[in-house]
Structure 1
Amino acid sequence: MAGVTGRPVRVAVVDDDPLVRSGLRLLFAGRPDLEVVAEGADGTEVAGIVDAHHPDVVLLDVRMPRVDGLEAAERLCARPRPPYVVMLTTFHADAYVLRALRAGASGYLLKDAPPRELIDAIRRVAAGEPILSPAVTRRLIEQVADPVSHDRRVAARARLERATDREREVAAAVARGLSNAQIADELGMGVPTVKAHVSRLLTKLDLDNRVQIALLVHDASLLS
């Protein structure tokens, strides 16, 4: 996935509620840097929409009647060079959202979020920045996730062993919700160095974004 430069961000909206779809289309219509290129009412339509319209960002309703947003997100994120995937939900804590984040979704949006927040979120995710902070991820995990099993904890710790000690320090800071600037200040390094560590973590651990780093650190039970 790559950030978008020099043209409007192409957005597809997939939600079984036509009022939600029309509301989002109207919301984005007055923004020259955002363009709704396609709409769908069910997860069964997602593959065709992506193939035909090549959106940069796909907004997926979590709960749809035939193929839900979770399954659609998993299918999209498994593609080579997939679009950014953002889950739409009315629930602050939804186990489906957590599973979608594990699959590679870049974050989630609440449907009742203020318009400015929704617009800013789409711009940020199109630039490659997950819109769900690791701090929010932790709260979501605490509310909806099953306790981490012994096997999952062991597997997560083994995976993190691929990283250097410094990279694990950065991973733990990411999971605490710190920004790159805050990590740099806390660990005594420059922001470009922090970015380089995060990039190496994503590569070494075969992850898609910072949210997944936070989830892996949680699974390893490395945060108090």
Structure 2
Amino acid sequence: MGVRLDEELAELERVWQAGACPGVVFYSARIMEAMLREVLRGEDHGGQVFEWLKVLEERGQLSHVQRMFAHNLRILGNDARHLRRQLGPEDAEVAIAMLERLLVWFCREMRQHPWTGVLQNADRDVGRSVNGVCPSRPTPEPRLAGVSEGLRTVFRLLDQPDAKDVDIDRVLKYLQQEAPQLSKKTPIIDALCADALIAAGRCGDALKPLREAQRRFGRDVRLRQLEGLALRRLGR
């Protein structure tokens, strides 16, 4: 196997401890891409992560929300690779939080994979990045260093099998009460919430947070894409 999960997670923790936000985003996206390659091992779907995500969602192996996490992590990774914008601590934390949920997905999807064994055995030499595995659950719940409990809760609330099951009003209320500054520092939170609103058929409600976010992050591609999607579905 070309990529070792334990080594990648240790490197992710190293750049996080060093406060290297672009490095945290880069390694989070890199680990996500490696997971997708493992799930699609032996298949030829080209070299584009976007296409891999589309295939997995069409097969029912990836929920809309999980694809949403992966797609936004892919975009963040491209921001880090191509220096599209300055990445701060909030971007790094969101990247790790999305990776955390995707690691949970990987363990459910690939129960016999060696990487799942790494995540299931907290006493393995994987650095301190993986901890808090709950043995009573059918799959491990990895907890990566660098994610606050508030943000972890938000992502757990979002991570539902069907996008229509997401209680987005609860998510928005929780964000307002527990992490009111987070969406002011990174566009990803508003993008995720808007995506969930659109998936729930609430395209009009999605426009307000998208436009507020664009005033802060005018150059963000994902925000503009989501606004266009919401407007098309509204027939505008």
Give the TM-score normalised by the residue count of structure 1. Answer: 0.30
Relative contact order (alpha carbons < 8 A, sep ≥ 6): 1 or 2 greater? 2
Q: TM-score, normalised by structure 2?
A: 0.29
Q: Which has the higher strand share?
A: 1
Name the structure with the higher helix share: 2
